[in-house]
Amino acid sequence: MVDQDLPRGLQANAAAALGLSLGAQEEGLCGPAVTDRAGGVHGGITRVNLPVLAASGEQLRELYRRARESADLRALGFSSLAQRSRDYETYRTAMEGTDPGALGFSGICLWGPPGAVNALAGSLKTLK
């Protein structure tokens, strides 16, 4: 889910960052490389459906909070702080001094059983 009020480029950046984060934490999401008829190799792609949904900043904050309280879900957040940071050290240092309740999100990724994800995010619209 990405903040529906962000410019398209920042929405795309948030979705890409969350996809990389999820892939790094969840083994087996991408399939192995495949070969075409001429022998050309094509890198593996995702094995799962990853819709990009739109939500307000407040909805993202609330969904993130609720998902973090759930035993069934994992929530990855791409904070506006992360999106503004120009390098990882700046991000790490800034995050260490930030109260969790003050975080705003450019996007979040919910991962878990489809029923649990749908219970929280099923009413959101696809990003258009």
pLDDT recorded at residue 33: 96
pTM for this structure?
0.87
Domain boundaries, the chain: 2-126
Is pLDDT at 76 greater than 90 in this prediction? yes
> What residues form DSSP beta bridges with 41?
35
- Beta carbons of 80 and 94 less than 8 angstroms apart: no
The C-alpha atoms of residue 109 and residue 63 are separated, in whole angstroms, by 10
SS3 assignment, position 106: strand
Instruction: Give residue-wise pLDDT tens across range 19-44.
Output: 999 999 888 899 999 999 999 999 99
Q: Which residues pair with 111 in a beta bridge?
A: 74
- How far is 112 from 37, CA to CA, in rounded Å? 36
Q: Are strands 34-35 and 2-3 parallel, antiparallel or unpaired?
A: unpaired
Q: Which two tokens stand for residue 99?
A: 């109260």
| Cα distances (angstroms) measured from residue 34 to each of 27, 43, 44, 93 | 18, 7, 7, 41
For residue 127, pLDDT over 90 is answered with yes
The domain 2-126 is classified under which CATH number: 3.40.1490.10, 3.30.565.10, 3.40.50.300, 3.40.50.10890? 3.40.1490.10
User: What percent of the chain has pLDDT above 70?
Assistant: 100
Mean pLDDT of 116-126: 94
Task: Reply yes or no on whether the pLDDT at 101 is more than 90.
Answer: no
